[in-house]
Amino acid sequence: MKYCEGKTFCFRKPSVLSYAAVVGKAENEGPYGGEFDEVVEDNKGGEDTWEQSESLFQNKAVGHVLRKADLTPDKIDLLVAGDLLNQCVGSTYGLKEFYIPYLGIYGACSTFAEGLLLSAALVNAGYVDTAIASTSSHFSTAERQFRFPLNYGGVRTPTAQWTATAAGAALVGSSGKPPFIRAATVGKIQDMGINDLNNMGAAMAGAAYDTLSRHFKHRASHPEDYDLIITGDLGQVGSDLLYDLFSRDGVDIQKYHKDCGLMIYDRDKQDVHAGGSGCGCSASMMCGHFFKRVQSGELKRILYCATGALMSPTVVQQGGSIPGIAHCVEITAE
């Protein structure tokens, strides 16, 4: 069977006009604490349920984006959003009050890259002037949905990752100022045969390798052409697998690589096992940390490759595997 190479989308005008991250207490106690726009200290943020709390995080993130851009919701042409919850309720309920045209997406933890990619493509083509990419995740909603309700007190395995309680949102338009979104490659579903709900890094590494390889090829670029290659939440297990896959092609990616899942928590002091995960993990790291550094020119050219484990507890209980996907977005200061 011949495989489709796909196309890397190239953009001329889109840039990120404003961005914001809202995180929980544990995320703010990590190495990047203090870089986020708002910290919600209480797991529920004053809401009755965890799901409502996750919606609140995403609502707040988009609110900060609008405030920082000094725009009201009626000036935004499009929202592109999704999350990990069943039927993406973090996004639906968090964003419904804005009454902005809404495209729901599902890419598991790759959602923020998919949202940026689509926002940039639609702005660049002139369909909309402004679009917000938004996502969220929450430790307590994700554990209940994908593994066990927290009240069970289940023991976590060494390969398990900790779903970040966090939301990130970015407004894409064309201001002529950095950070610019220059190119993007859509991922393919890759099934590595992993069927352990606590080993998502391994399920996603192959997808990251495939998307990054195609992006390098289509852009005629190499890892050393980027200041950083940032993956979403491969964690330790997935990152090691990614290095191994690239090393077979004689490519050393480790030198330029950072993984948001390995950055967001202090793994020596915080008990997060193989690292952070969740849509909000890389979204909050991009919106709290990385976009600023591209905007200031400290980073000139980065590649953001968010990875997602397209897993369903129903299918895993039926003995099925967990396919992965990864979308990548190239962001530059010039």
- Shortest spacing between CB 185 and a second copy, in angstroms: 8
Interface pick for a second copy out of 25, 67, 86, 252 (rule CB under 8 A) = 86
Which pair of tokens denotes residue 271?
């008990």
Strand partners, 135: 82, 168
Q: From CA 50, how far away is CA 286, in angstroms rounded?
A: 24
Whether the Cβ atoms of residue 286 and residue 65 lie closer than 8 Å to each other = no
At CA 89, angle to CA 47 and CA 270, rounded to 5? 65
Whether the Cβ atoms of residue 82 and residue 115 lie closer than 8 Å to each other = yes
Stretch that binds a second copy, among 32-40, 189-197, 230-238, 241-249 (CB under 8 A): 189-197
92 touches a second copy by CB under 8 A: yes
310 touches a second copy by CB under 8 A: yes
Interface pick for a second copy out of 39, 192, 251, 315 (rule CB under 8 A) = 315
Shortest CA distance to 238 belongs to which of 203, 266, 271? 203
Q: From CA 30, how far away is CA 164, in angstroms rounded?
A: 11
CA 232 → CA 92, 220, 304, 330, distances in Å? 23, 23, 8, 14
- Shortest spacing between CB 117 and a second copy, in angstroms: 8
2 touches a second copy by CB under 8 A: yes
Contacts to a second copy from residues 96-155, by CB under 8 A:
96, 98-108, 114, 118, 121-122, 124-125, 127-128, 145
Strand partners, 8: 185
Q: Which is nearer to a second copy, 113 or 299 (CB)?
A: 113
Whether the Cβ atoms of residue 317 and residue 329 lie closer than 8 Å to each other = no
Count of positions on this chain that bind a second copy (CB under 8 A)? 66
Stretch that binds a second copy, among 24-32, 47-55, 192-200, 226-234 (CB under 8 A): 47-55
- Shortest spacing between CB 6 and a second copy, in angstroms: 4
- Shortest spacing between CB 269 and a second copy, in angstroms: 32
85 touches a second copy by CB under 8 A: yes
Stretch that binds a second copy, among 59-67, 159-167, 238-246, 309-317 (CB under 8 A): 309-317
- Shortest spacing between CB 71 and a second copy, in angstroms: 11
* DSSP classification of residue 137: E
Which pair of tokens denotes residue 93?
């309920």
Q: From CA 88, how far away is CA 72, in angstroms rounded?
A: 24
Whether the Cβ atoms of residue 181 and residue 217 lie closer than 8 Å to each other = no
Whether the Cβ atoms of residue 328 and residue 219 lie closer than 8 Å to each other = no
Q: Which is nearer to a second copy, 169 or 310 (CB)?
A: 310
Q: Which is nearer to a second copy, 31 or 73 (CB)?
A: 73
Total residues found in the chain within this entry: 334
Shortest CA distance to 328 belongs to which of 136, 186, 171? 186
Shortest CA distance to 165 belongs to which of 29, 68, 316, 65? 29
213 touches a second copy by CB under 8 A: no
Stretch that binds a second copy, among 2-10, 221-229, 237-245, 247-255 (CB under 8 A): 2-10
89 touches a second copy by CB under 8 A: yes
- Shortest spacing between CB 296 and a second copy, in angstroms: 30
Q: Hunting for tokens 């069970």 — which residue is that?
A: 152
Interface pick for a second copy out of 41, 46, 70, 74 (rule CB under 8 A) = 74
7 touches a second copy by CB under 8 A: yes
243 touches a second copy by CB under 8 A: no
Beta strand pairing call for 131-137 and 166-173: antiparallel
* DSSP classification of residue 150: G
Q: Which residues bind a second copy (CB under 8 A)?
A: 1-7, 9, 48-49, 51-52, 72-78, 82, 85-89, 92-93, 95-96, 98-108, 114, 118, 121-122, 124-125, 127-128, 145, 185-191, 310-315, 318, 320, 323, 325
